Amino acid sequence: MKENRNNIFVWLTNPFHFWGGSKLLTAGIVVLILHIPAGLLFGARFDGAIDMHISFDVSLLQVTTDVIIAWLSMAVSFYAVAKLFKAPARFIDIAGATALARLPLLLSVIPGYLFVPDAATVEEILALEGIDFYLLIAGSVIIMAFVIWFFIVLFNAFKINSNLKGRKLATGFILGVLVAEIVSLLLIREVLSGIV
């Protein structure tokens, strides 16, 4: 049970082993707040529970709405699924874990920004050649690594807070992510269309 606290791999993939409650929630809120300057600086939108897109034209209202809805939809969805399976989960732990789990997604804005192709349409992207093409492939691979890292941390966030195992764990995680993504996409569109 007792992992070595100096084990970097555990900290990077499952910090929830060591942190929970208010400490985890505080760290998670810091990560959420960092989404706002990162979104504005790199022109990134987090317009879905598991989404990050570089769109350059991003407003403070958009990125703030995105991140609040993306986080809350994931936290509430995971909590609801955990309760559905009668898991003894606490909302404070799930809220903190889902917030901190967004760190890899937040960091993915850097390669997303650096490797964004000089092409606006699918036809232009498919027509890329030479160095631009290789940069696109390299960028995609790096971003994919960040996305995989994000899903590993997110999975551990659900696993440790639900204590589900086997098929129930896999079903619960997929269900939680799907519900969160659908709810967040609908809510972000609804809220922003009502304000803007």
Partner 1 sequence: MNQKISKLPVKCPSCASGLAVQSLVCPDCETTVAGLYDLPVLLFLSDEELTFIFQFVKNSGSLKQMSKEMGLSYPTIRNYLNDLIEKLNQLEHERE
Half-sphere exposure of 155 (CA within 13 A, CB side): 15
φ, ψ at 10 (rounded to 5°): -65, -40
Nearer to partner 1, 96 or 112 (CB): 96
| Segment contacting partner 1 by CB under 8 A, of 33-41, 62-70, 71-79, 86-94 | 86-94
Total residues contacting partner 1 by CB under 8 A comes to 17
C-alpha–C-alpha distance, residues 42 and 64, integer Å: 14
| Residues in region 93-132 near partner 1 by CB under 8 A | 93
C-alpha–C-alpha distance, residues 196 and 192, integer Å: 6
CB of residue 125 vs partner 1: minimum separation in angstroms? 43
The residue with tokens 């890899």 is 104
The H or E element spanning position 53 is: strand 53-54
166 binds partner 1 (CB under 8 A): no
Q: Residue from 21, 61, 127, 140 that binds partner 1 (CB under 8 A)?
A: 21
Q: Residue from 26, 55, 140, 163 that binds partner 1 (CB under 8 A)?
A: 163
A 10 A CB-CB count for 43 gives 18
16 binds partner 1 (CB under 8 A): yes
71 binds partner 1 (CB under 8 A): no
3-state secondary structure of 44: strand
24 binds partner 1 (CB under 8 A): yes
CB of residue 177 vs partner 1: minimum separation in angstroms? 19
C-alpha–C-alpha distance, residues 163 and 168, integer Å: 10
Q: Which residues bind partner 1 (CB under 8 A)?
A: 1-2, 5, 16-21, 24, 88-90, 93, 160-161, 163
